[in-house]
Structures are given as C-alpha cells and as structure tokens.
Amino acid sequence: MELPDDDDNDEEERFEALDIKGSSIRKVHASSIRHWNMFASIQKYPAFQDLSRADVTGRILDNGSLENTNDPPIRKKMAEFANYLFTAKKKSTGKNLMTKVQLQYLSGVKTVLFSEHKALTFTNTCDWYDELYSGLRLRASVAAIARGEAVSKKTVGFSRQTLANCCRFLMHQENEALGYEERCVILILYHAVGRGGEVSTSTWNSAQWEDGREFLSLDWGELKRGQQYIMTFHPDAKGWELDVYHAIAT
C-alpha cells in the first residue's frame, strides 16, 4: 500500500472546487442561459438568475424531495422554452436552429437548473424532462427534413487514393524526417479512426507486438470521454502507402 508523503509545511491549504466542465461545455451553458433570458423576456418570466424556488421546484418535503416529483413548476416553463427553441430563428440567416443546437440549449438549461436545485434530481429520474427532450428531438428533426434542411452537420471523408497521394507528398518533403513523422501520425489516426489530440497520448512504451495474433497494440486514450483501451494495428492489404507498419518503420 502506498502511503502519502509527509508534508512538513504546517500552513493550511485551501482548495477550490474541481472544475469538471470544459470550456466548450461552459460556452454551451452560457448560450443556453442567454436564450432562456430572451425567451423569459417574451413570456414575462424571471431571468434565469432570478428564478426562485417557487419558480423551479415548488414545495420541498422534509426528506429533500419534491412535493410533486413529476410536475414541478419549472416543467411548464421548460415546455414553453422548448417550443421557443423549436421556432427560434438565427439572426444571421433567418433559418431555424439546427436540431442538435435546439437540444443543446434545452439540455444546457436543464443541466444548470438541476445543478442548482438538487431536489429535481432526488429520485435520479426525470420522466417529464426525458419526454420533453425526446419530443423536441423528434419534432425538430421532422421539421428540418420537411424543410429540406440537414438535421445535423455531416463530415464527408475522402478516398483512400487521396490519402495515399497525401502520404507520398509528405514523404517527398525537403525535411524527410518531419515528412515521415507526419505521415505516420496521419496513418495511425486513419487506422484507429481517432481524433488528432488522441495520437499524442499514445506512447511507444505502451506498444507491444502480439506474437500469436501477429499485430501491434498500444494504449489509446480518448481525451473527450476520459477512457483508455487497447488499440490494435494491422497491415494494409492493398499497398505500402497506407501501411501503418511501413510508416512506423520509416
């Protein structure tokens, strides 16, 4: 058992709460609250920061639960907010918000509300919100399809031949070592179907060759989800340009 090191410093340390939200999450929450405040000004409701217990949870019982678990006062306001998001237009284009954006704003307001009002999460279930979220997702998706718009942004990949051409180009750079390294990074990402930041978390020390199954494996970390697992790499069947072993060797 590893014991903590003794600290001879008698000064008392003070710690702030651990910030578990990334900057992108905080931006989504800020945008969500901004949209709530625009909605609230139309409906003559309190701004988000002015919502009281009566506005959100109503009466709370002695055990910390809601008097009416599935019908708190905020339920009606959240349903109206969902309809606001469903009909809201972007000022720059005059088009409706994309389905994913509508759901992000609804979820953002819910997350902050439930964080500030713990009674809403007393039972660890929230049927009324789940129903509202599912309803908005369905209606927004159907409306977007009917208007001929995309439900969400989609990324179209490029062909193997294009990737092979990129690899050959990199191998003919004046700085050969850098070109070979960049090609190796790209091919590791291609074979792992990973993100750019993830390849930097995989180290050579974690790599190992599996004799019995004849493949290379290493620890692969997903920064976004905080997970790490074994990623396996195999030869490319069609040529050396996209072969990860050739790239590592060079």
Q: pLDDT tens digit string along 106-147?
A: 999 999 999 898 888 887 778 899 999 999 999 999 999 999
Q: pLDDT digits over 19-54, tens only?
A: 666 677 888 899 999 999 999 999 999 999 999 999
Q: pLDDT digits over 80-93, tens only?
A: 999 999 999 988 88
Length of the chain as a residue count: 250
Q: What percent of the chain has pLDDT over 90?
A: 56
Confidence check: pLDDT of 162 > 90: yes
The angle subtended at Cα 26 by Cα 108 and Cα 32, nearest 5°, is 35
Give the pLDDT mean for 166-178. Answer: 94
Alpha-carbon gap, residue 226 to 26, rounded angstroms: 18
- H/E segment holding residue 210: strand 208-210
SS3 208: strand
Q: What are phi and psi of 38, to 5 degrees?
A: -65, -45
Q: What band does 6 get if pLDDT is binned at 50, 70 and 90? A: low
